[in-house]
Structure 1
Amino acid sequence: MDAKLFQELVKALKIGKTLPDATYLHKTALEKASCELFTLCSNVARALKVDTTEWDLVKLFRKEFKVAFLSYPDFYNESYPSLKQSILVDLSKLTSKITSYKDSDNPPILHRKELMVSVDDPLREHFESLTKEGELAGLYANPFKIGFKQTWERLIEQKGYNLKDGRIIKVNGDIARGNSYDELKVDRHLTAIIRYELSTPFKLLAKHNFLTGDYTIFDYGCGRGDDLRELEAHSLSATGWDPNFRPDAELVEADIVNIGFVINVIEDIDERIEALQRAYSLAKKFTVVSAMVAGESVISKFQPYRDGVLTSRNTFQKYYTQGELKVFIERTLDTDCLAIGPGVFLVFKDKLEEQNFLLNRNQRTHHWNHLTSDEKRGGSHELVFVKYRELLEQLWNKCLILGRLPASDEFDQFDALEEKVGSPKKALQIINSVSDILELEVAAKNRTEDLVVYFALNLFSGRPKFATMPERLKRDIKAFFGTYQSAIQTATEALFAISDTDLISESCLLAHSQLPSSDYRPNKHLIFHEKYLEKLPYSLRIYVGCAAQLFGELDDIQLIKIHIHTGKVSFLGYEGFEDTPLPLLKERVKVKLREQDVDYFDYVEPYNPPLLYWKSKFIDESFSDFKKQVSFDKRLAKTGIIEPSKDYGPKRIELDSLLKDQGLEVRGYRFYSI
């Protein structure tokens, strides 16, 4: 069965609980409703060795070639059964993902069960009576408040009812018991800070060219509206809503919906879930979700409250780890998300938009020389080249970007080229007759490597779906690999290869010999500046790229450390890296690829941050302070305080004291006698 037939069969179903993205059916009803879909699901479950006792419901996606096997073992025994396990199967990528809720205190629950069974099910009438009870009690007025167990139970209490033996019973006196939390008043409005520049999520959107005016934007929880004012000043279509500062603004759909640092200031878990689901429901292309990320050293400074802390301003903060935030987003929205920064994730609805984003994210930026005519060559091609030089150079630059000849919709001057010169193939022959086009071979090789990295990183999180790929990518596959299967095979081999420590060791040695500067310790590590990431062998680009998928973008990160034998990558951020000889380490993020986990280390008070010694090992002439840094490091070595072979040395206070004993002090990049 292919994707087209699958979607036709799902849309043709006469029964089932149908939502915009999927239809839910009990397996007994599926067998009666569609033999084809039941056979497909049974075969898939059998192939994955999922026993029939391990799934009760199936989720059939309406717009994608996916199914999910859902385990609700108490479907017939409980009024609102809890989800124990979900197995999501992408039939186009041939991948599966298992999510367990067995140990969850707040698992997803089911409502309106009568829609998921056949009309002759003996308990269908009973299920209908349960739904009617909830409707009469006003429990279904807000669909964002009913999806999780604890939220549902608290809503029942707040409405003045009890849940007893699966039935909703009115409480005497019509007094709602409220939730089990204390009634401490938290000043949420004080969390809205005044900004004089774009917030981090919008800076990342700008970095990835989403603020070009091609997208509408809605800022859910916009605070005082500082981001909106900046966006509007650039003539972008941006609106927003905030419960404290813009409560009367309309909630509207937009291509991009930003919910920036909102969920982390909501002390009520039910409201937190509702806010995220509501923001996601408004997005056409994707949602940007961000929250505060911090380690235990930060959290321990505050008074614990609910599942977060209270600050000195009587505001609430829920600090997440990167992994914890990812799980919260994916479980709440029942979809995957992509990290683009610490505490910042993209959740795509438009899969074509997602593939374009991933494709551009993994493409290197190349700087090429302009074409130069060879005076020794001549003939009619020389005359055509001179006459249409500007047009041909534009074509040449596009060829170098793509690594191949462009299609008609990939070159703005295509019509003019055909009219004045001919086809792109003929134009390339003219260029070849008057100039050296070996650079195109280099461009093709680089583009092939970029695509291997792209596909390998997609495989790391799930095989990319060919049908949702941009046309440009399909052309790349044909030009550089021949077939999609060949591209996937090459990428699969490259991805599996990064588990080979011998290969990583050899690649690190090769990178050290090719990079302008780096610190290499055989069988231990390779440390380099993030600006050199694109210059790495593609095996290391995949290695670091897998880590970055768990961490996000490398903003505010200067050095990357590849641990050769432990399957780890560290990202190091320094204060004053660009303009001081001894930068202070302010952030260290260690990504453990084998465990798929991320550790954060913040070097804030009361910690005394370590200094980066011998910075000249990590920079070259392209850095403005390179010569000054080399001179500083030579002078420091002469003091004998720290050996150049040592990575770590005394903290700043200790260093100043030791220098003082030698009658020296550091001012800027120079040593002075005192």
Structure 2
Amino acid sequence: MDAKLFSQLATQVKVGKQLPDALYLHRDAFSAIPDELAKFIPAVAKALRLNDSEWNLVKIFKKDFRLSLLHYPGFYTESYPELKQSLNVDLAKLSHKITSYESSENPPILHRKETMVLSDNEHYQHFISLTQEGENAGLYENSRLIGFKRSWENLIARHGYELVDGRLFRSSAVTVQTNDNGIDRHKTAIVRHELSAPMKSLIKHGFLEGAYSIFDYGCGRGDDLRELEAHGLDALGWDPNFQPDNEKVTSDIVNLGFVLNVIEDQDERLDALLSAWELADKFLVVSVMLANENFIAQFTPYKDGVITSRNTFQKYYAQSEIKAYVERCLQEDVIAVAPGIFYIFKDKLEEQQYLQSKYKRHHKWQQLTSPTPIEAKDRARLVITQNQPLFDAFWNTCLELGRIPANDEFENSEKVRELIGSHKKVFGLLQEMFDTEEFEQAETSRKEDLLLYFAMGLFEKRKPYTQQPEPLKRDIKALFGDYKTVINLATELLFSIADTSLIKSLCEKAHKTIPASLLNESHSLIFHRDYIDELPLLLRTYVGAGLQMYGELNDDIDLVKIHITSGKLSLTVYDDFEKSVPFLVERIKIKMAEQDIDFFDYVDEKRRPPLLNKSLYISECFTLYNKQCSFDKRLAKLLGISNNEERNMTRGEFEQGLQEECRRVSGYKITRLNQ
């Protein structure tokens, strides 16, 4: 075999972990590579007197006449196996070099093992779960930091995890003693180097800005508390192991973070939940670790959970399981905030304000007109003109609320009433002097936001009118007349999402009105998540109904797909939406009729579908909009496809198409391979 044939055969290999200059492949996957290459590699090993037991992976260089035979003894038994020995062969120079890592304290380690075997390998799904676990923990954001054992372990520690039985473990402490069954609960606490997920959710929703006191029930080593205190927040905590002498104090917000999943006694688990609930004035945050059956099967079963190799107990939940458990125990509505994180409100007014904020669009009204006095003798209009900043602020408050503000809803109400009179009188004058269409738009938008809020509230136990916040009562009276009317309208709105003909017509309307989208006729509407608030109200309700099962739309989600006839909602995550060609890394399909969610992970990079028509999902306001449009047209022409429809193509097929045309993508340029 010569260098030219070797290079040709290497480019034909579509399996394995593909890098720009090389690919990694396990020997068990040789059935999927060209037969000549599959025979040549073992022949090289035999020529250099390397036994079959001394190598199991091969690194094939794409541009050089070279290969490396690698020995990872723990490939199938260890999550991140260490390299024991490498044999690097320069076939052009007919030289080789053996490097042993057997006595090294910092050997190279292996990741993404699922890419190195075939999909029918019995370990394939397990390898996928390992990689997904690392990605969820944020460990693969910088691949340069993960290649060697020591840097990998340091990275794991910095993200607040430990390896237990080869799996990433993150938890909070619950007690210091070894219990009667010999479970070492004190070993469940770990050091955190950033705020925990439930604390981050509180930041996102504005609960950690200083207005609320925080109590961390089961605070472990107190890393969250230390960070909160550094920001001047009123935060206390208790932990039976590390902070056993601290008082359990009543606070606005109580965090029960990753505690329920480490208590093996079900009665004690219930006691922890009820104790934390008793301490909460406003609401309780409950978070647990989630896992699927394949993951749980790796451990030794014990009671309703498992025992890890560190002799700690873990109870891994499904999203619906933990939600039902907490609701059953507390007899309260539980709100899913994110996978594994839930809010349970004791203060029902606080709950309504939180729910309302989820569905309220935040208007940034810009005053474009100025009041002009019609007659100089009209004192009221002259006063308005002379105090324009004050009345501009009043008008903007009307636009924000979609109605006339109450006295306590405008901070300079006393001054306004002193100059002109009641808010109603001022509003009447301003309507004649300002652009009334702007207010009509604000009123309509506010009514839609409230209908969406009440429609989503129908998924939970309806709150009586007396438990609604005072501002919301004013909204109901001003915009709908009474509570019964708004509930009837919200119910009708929610039931309408089952009307496929209506959904179809609104998807067609939305496709014409929102800045960027793709309509698959009679099948689906795809759009960027930034334009959800610009959808017709019924489609916002459709999306909101789907998210009731999933939780809040996090920042990772890029595109949303409304399935017109099947009652499904799809959410897609791309590796980097800012790129000219982003690649799909995760797809979530929410099936509302079946009350189920399917997660599709594209861990194998070669199978990730490219987004070949990104310009359809961005508006003209996008910085590189013109470049993207031009790029998409050139790319579509090169590949012989239409860029006005949804495409199903893998990364491997995309790269092969480019290669057949001797082209490559560099940013927003399409260049020849030899350039």
Is TM-score (shorter-chain normalized) higher than 0.5? yes
- Deviation at residue 671 of structure 1 after TM alignment: 2.4
- Deviation at residue 190 of structure 1 after TM alignment: 4.9
Aligned letter for 2:667?
A: G
Aligned to 1:574: 574
Aligned letter for 1:275?
A: A
Aligned to 2:192: 194
Change (3 A) 1:434 1:592: same
Change (3 A) 1:300 1:604: farther
1:123-151 CA distances to partner (integer Å, 9 max, x unpaired)? xxxxxxxxxxxxxxxxxxxxxxxxxxxxx
1:74-133 CA distances to partner (integer Å, 9 max, x unpaired)? xxxxxxxxxxxxxxxxxxxxxxxxxxxxxxxxxxxxxxxxxxxxxxxxxxxxxxxxxxxx
- Pairing 1:33-182 to 2, within 5 Å after superposition: none
Change (3 A) 1:606 1:627: closer
- Pairing 1:301-316 to 2, within 5 Å after superposition: 306-308=303-305
1:145-199 CA distances to partner (integer Å, 9 max, x unpaired)? xxxxxxxxxxxxxxxxxxxxxxxxxxxxxxxxx98xxx56456635534233x33
Contact 2:574 / 2:584 at 8 angstroms: preserved in 1? yes
Contact 2:373 / 2:385 at 8 angstroms: preserved in 1? no
Aligned to 1:560: 560
Aligned to 1:477: 476
Aligned to 2:414: 415
Please say which of residues 411-420 and 273-282 is displaced more in the overlay.
273-282
1:351-402 CA distances to partner (integer Å, 9 max, x unpaired)? 1111121222221122222152255844334431232111111111110111
Mapped to 1, the partners of 2:638 and 2:294 lie a distance apart of: 35
Contact 1:186 / 1:315 at 8 angstroms: preserved in 2? yes
- 1:327 equivalenced with 2:328 (yes/no): no
Aligned letter for 1:507?
A: L
Mapped to 2, the partners of 1:394 and 1:561 lie a distance apart of: 39
Aligned letter for 2:197?
A: T
Q: SS at 2:527's partner residue?
A: strand
Change (3 A) 1:250 1:582: farther
Aligned to 1:458: 457
Aligned pair partner of 1:217 in 214, 217, 226: 214
Aligned to 2:425: 426
Q: SS at 1:572's partner residue?
A: strand
Contact 2:219 / 2:238 at 8 angstroms: preserved in 1? yes
- Deviation at residue 581 of structure 1 after TM alignment: 2.7
Aligned to 2:339: 342
Q: SS at 2:459's partner residue?
A: helix
Aligned to 2:255: 258
1:300-352 CA distances to partner (integer Å, 9 max, x unpaired)? 66666654456677665443332122112212322220112222111111111
Change (3 A) 1:472 1:272: same
1:590-630 CA distances to partner (integer Å, 9 max, x unpaired)? 22222333333344469954433322221213333433432
Aligned letter for 2:193?
A: R
Please say which of residues 351-360 and 650-659 is displaced more in the overlay.
650-659
Aligned to 1:638: 637
Aligned to 1:16: none
Mapped to 2, the partners of 1:502 and 1:230 lie a distance apart of: 52
Contact 1:371 / 1:435 at 8 angstroms: preserved in 2? no
Q: SS at 2:458's partner residue?
A: helix
- Deviation at residue 656 of structure 1 after TM alignment: 2.7
Change (3 A) 1:394 1:649: same
Aligned letter for 1:510?
A: K
Change (3 A) 1:615 1:432: same
Mapped to 1, the partners of 2:513 and 2:296 lie a distance apart of: 42
Contact 2:374 / 2:381 at 8 angstroms: preserved in 1? yes
Please say which of residues 427-436 and 440-449 is displaced more in the overlay.
427-436
Aligned letter for 2:572?
A: L
Aligned to 1:399: 398
Mapped to 2, the partners of 1:646 and 1:486 lie a distance apart of: 42
Q: TM-score, normalised by structure 2?
A: 0.68
Aligned letter for 1:671?
A: I
Aligned letter for 1:192?
A: I
1:241-300 CA distances to partner (integer Å, 9 max, x unpaired)? 233433332221111111123323444444433332222221111111122334456556
Mapped to 1, the partners of 2:298 and 2:608 lie a distance apart of: 18
Q: Percent identity?
A: 49
Aligned to 2:175: none
Aligned to 2:103: none
Aligned letter for 2:396?
A: N
Aligned letter for 1:408?
A: N
- Deviation at residue 468 of structure 1 after TM alignment: 0.2
- Deviation at residue 513 of structure 1 after TM alignment: 1.3
- Pairing 1:356-375 to 2, within 5 Å after superposition: 356-373=353-370
Aligned to 1:153: none
Change (3 A) 1:513 1:281: same
Q: SS at 1:460's partner residue?
A: coil
Aligned letter for 1:281?
A: E
Q: SS at 1:553's partner residue?
A: coil
Mapped to 1, the partners of 2:227 and 2:511 lie a distance apart of: 43
Mapped to 1, the partners of 2:449 and 2:599 lie a distance apart of: 29
Aligned residues: 492
Contact 2:373 / 2:381 at 8 angstroms: preserved in 1? no
Please say which of residues 407-416 and 185-194 is displaced more in the overlay.
185-194
Please list every run of 5 or more consecutive structure 2 residues that lacks an aligned counterpart in the other structure: 1-178
Q: TM-score, normalised by structure 1?
A: 0.68
- Pairing 1:222-621 to 2, within 5 Å after superposition: 222-296=219-293, 299=296, 306-308=303-305, 317-373=314-370, 377-379=374-376, 380-555=379-554, 556-577=556-577, 579-604=578-603, 608-621=607-620
Mapped to 2, the partners of 1:267 and 1:626 lie a distance apart of: 55
Change (3 A) 1:616 1:268: farther
Q: CA RMSD in A?
A: 2.7
1:213-232 CA distances to partner (integer Å, 9 max, x unpaired)? 22111112223333223322
Aligned to 1:206: 203
Please say which of residues 460-469 and 372-381 is displaced more in the overlay.
372-381
Contact 2:605 / 2:651 at 8 angstroms: preserved in 1? no
- Deviation at residue 462 of structure 1 after TM alignment: 2.9
Contact 1:291 / 1:344 at 8 angstroms: preserved in 2? yes
Mapped to 2, the partners of 1:519 and 1:188 lie a distance apart of: 53
- Pairing 1:9-28 to 2, within 5 Å after superposition: none
Mapped to 1, the partners of 2:483 and 2:270 lie a distance apart of: 39
Change (3 A) 1:456 1:605: same
Change (3 A) 1:260 1:604: farther
